[in-house]
Structure 1
């Protein structure tokens, strides 16, 4: 087998090679920065190139390696950071022209956790306006392209992160997720991720001058997108370091207690009112067979009503957005995003006043139902979207487009609303594009979700390898 170029190596491989002095941090970062500069002109995944700073930092880490050993488990690993999170001295634009003057006074805790572990930031990645679309484009930075096909969306809102990591621009990409923003782009590009559960990773921007709404605090989480499951695990073990700025974070070890074997896995193909595409059924059945082959006991189950949970959660979030964010969207947003929010509000009428409070109270009922299911089945294999990849601007093509892309994402929204961990992996392809499935887990058991994703990946292959092979032929 031909030796892979440095920029194709996993974070796990790079960290091991640097620690063993088989390569240097400078070599790893220089190769990855060169790759970024070779492909990003078309992709537009990275919107702020920090390559020169990164190479200088890598030299410093190399100098310290001989004296103190690796500074942490990510020593010398190139990473990217999404532009909606603070990085000291950089602009936190959130994809909005009017926010370019917001300069971060310090790193967000998640960024600091990665860099404290030895990661080196090579660039900042694109996001849609206000990070509130399932595709990544904006008037400030332009459109991010899917590395598989220019027709397809790179997903959103962490579309820059997924396009970067799948194109070899660093093996770890930071992203975040309030309704699917880690999982939509991972599904769109064949990357892997786990949306952490509530309280797992620290969230706070030192540049913020007001607190986020309560639902945003409960639903939004920081995480990573990678090419390989082992790298998600590697990054998450460092990323969960406790930070007291986040009042929701709970300092729980990443790896939980062993489960009774064989572990029972719940399995459902139910997409409720949305027709399930045959390619998604094939992906679900392939993932199920992989888990059975890995020794899991997979049982088809009926879950609590995700149609109701997902729709309720989205309408509640829209209620909060209507009160706390809409003025900024009207003032700073483009005509397109304002029109889309009008359509969001028509399709998912925001709960208001007393009804919003009642629905937020009812959230605990949904969580209780799922907690009881997860007591018996600690992980559940589910659809993610009922259809494969969508066209890059489909969600801006009226209400039908929104429903086809976002409206059917009930399996995504519901997990944010309940604060449960959920990961995606793509076991199959359709029309030359990846097709993803989702694995949901008990709270604070991201490790179990990753175990299941890895069992699928081991049997169906790392999707990025197929992308890289295509590039060489």
Structure 2
């Protein structure tokens, strides 16, 4: 399943001292700081992560392509730059990261989990990868996805299944399942992901890591192997970051959002606002229309609410407008576009799992017609105005990431009726995407031996408000991220 070039590449000489044995447990922020001050070298760190990948990836199958010599060369160049011109180092200088398999890395196949794309070699980097390179990151490898990055379950006929390090019968999430598992199990310091319906936040939830879906347009999304993007993809999809800690996610965001003129949807918006860390009114969403919240989910919300209240936030039980309507809008837009393009490719692929999942989801959507598509977009505009007014009263939302505990494998393969239940359970994820909002999953601890956590949501381009609140929840949460590494 995993393709790794040069697995036995000879060790390169390191300029720094003895590398601590637990470096793969460090976050990206600490690694960057230690490389910057000369305590460790990028080559040493890269080799340590290669060893970690050798130890755990054969079982988990999160990283499905890695060119080790290329990564070591990037690390050598990072160390040489530090020696020659340290003032030119970026914020991720020498830090090992992974890239999701659905965006372009120059010279590598952007397979997106589809056998027909096995030889689709990217002629150049996508804009987000170019930003990571400019920040000095070392690309360790590519993380696994479901076919077309379109399930909450990461498995495909080209690269196989990615396992959850906590419990193998539970999904690793999707579509950024490989990214979340790589971060959780210490195979990278930072992982790139994408999110159109929860594809960063849900894998973060089930694997126990932090996952940020920025506002669409914050991070550039264009890449050379994709020439056409339907409107739903432009409006709903976001490039983001996963890591084991909040401060590392913020560091990754700053690197990914740096430039993006090649993407017409990219917006050079400020990241920092004076009141980012100010305690504000919080709407605690512990009721979802026509959907039952699992006890584990309510417990996580209560825990997070207590943490925020202790820090001066005013938490009130409030339901924002139209979460259920936002789900219907998402279905009407995205599934109409799927029928126009992706569905024929799914059918040609002849993989029973992805075909069953997509057909069941399509059965939950309105009939494929222009009127339904245009009406959904018009309704979205009205609902976005209502949410903007809601954010004036409640600048921060504390809500479920998912309405249920992490799912077993194959929950989306049981027909349209079960799919409708699944979509309702995931409506907090989908609503945020349908309204083009930023969302952040932050872990709160373990419930029945599985990760639990909450989602924070704010107005467009207020990611820092999410991150500052998440620091408070993270500070009070049960310290468990290393447990996933131990289990792996």
**TM-score using structure 1 length:** 0.95
Equivalent of 1:221 in 238, 245, 249: 238
Q: Go from structure 1 to structure 2 and tell me whether the alpha carbon gap of 1:104 and 1:22 turns closer, same or farther (over 3 Å shift).
A: same
Equivalent of 2:375 in 354, 358, 362: 358
Distance 2:435 2:319 in 1: 18
Residue of structure 2 equivalent to 1:75: 93
Query: Is the contact made by 1:291 and 1:455 (CA closer than 8 Å) also made in structure 2?
Result: yes
Residue of structure 2 equivalent to 1:172: 190
Unaligned runs of 5+ in 2: 1-19
Shift of 1:376: 1.9
Bigger Cα displacement from structure 2, 343-352 vs 410-419: 343-352
Residue of structure 2 equivalent to 1:381: 398
Shift of 1:265: 1.4
Distance 2:332 2:290 in 1: 17
Q: Go from structure 1 to structure 2 and tell me whether the alpha carbon gap of 1:433 and 1:260 turns closer, same or farther (over 3 Å shift).
A: closer
Distance 1:462 1:54 in 2: 31
Bigger Cα displacement from structure 2, 8-17 vs 325-334: 325-334
Q: Deviations over 1:8-64 (max 9, x none)?
A: 110000000000111111111110111011110000000002223212221121112
Query: Is the contact made by 1:227 and 1:462 (CA closer than 8 Å) also made in structure 2?
Result: no
Unaligned runs of 5+ in 1: none
Moved over 6 A (4+): none
Distance 1:419 1:191 in 2: 22
Distance 2:487 2:350 in 1: 38
Query: Is the contact made by 2:330 and 2:430 (CA closer than 8 Å) also made in structure 1?
Result: yes
Query: Is the contact made by 2:276 and 2:465 (CA closer than 8 Å) also made in structure 1?
Result: no
Shift of 1:254: 1.5
Distance 1:406 1:30 in 2: 42
Residue of structure 2 equivalent to 1:125: 143
Alignment RMSD (CA, Å): 1.6
Query: Is the contact made by 2:288 and 2:319 (CA closer than 8 Å) also made in structure 1?
Result: no
Q: Residue 456 of structure 2: SS of its match in structure 1?
A: strand
Residue of structure 1 equivalent to 2:132: 114
Where does 1:67-106 land on structure 2 (aligned, <5 Å)? 67-69=84-86, 71-106=89-124
Residue correspondences, number = 468
Residue of structure 1 equivalent to 2:69: 52
Distance 1:136 1:78 in 2: 22
Distance 1:276 1:398 in 2: 22
1:148 aligns with 2:166: yes
Shift of 1:405: 3.8
Q: Deviations over 1:414-460 (max 9, x none)?
A: 11111110111121322210112111011111000111111100111
Distance 1:77 1:405 in 2: 37
Where does 1:212-251 land on structure 2 (aligned, <5 Å)? 212-251=229-268
Residue of structure 2 equivalent to 1:302: 319
Shift of 1:297: 1.6
Where does 1:265-304 land on structure 2 (aligned, <5 Å)? 265-304=282-321
Equivalent of 1:330 in 344, 347, 356: 347
Shift of 1:270: 1.1
Residue of structure 2 equivalent to 1:321: 338
Residue of structure 1 equivalent to 2:3: none
Q: Deviations over 1:361-384 (max 9, x none)?
A: 221111101111111221110112
1:17 aligns with 2:34: yes
Query: Is the contact made by 1:133 and 1:156 (CA closer than 8 Å) also made in structure 2?
Result: yes
Q: Deviations over 1:115-156 (max 9, x none)?
A: 110100011010000100001001110000001111111100
Shift of 1:469: 5.1
Distance 1:148 1:14 in 2: 25
Query: Is the contact made by 1:95 and 1:140 (CA closer than 8 Å) also made in structure 2?
Result: yes
Distance 2:21 2:211 in 1: 23
Q: Go from structure 1 to structure 2 and tell me whether the alpha carbon gap of 1:419 and 1:454 turns closer, same or farther (over 3 Å shift).
A: same
Equivalent of 2:204 in 182, 186, 209: 186
Residue of structure 1 equivalent to 2:474: 457
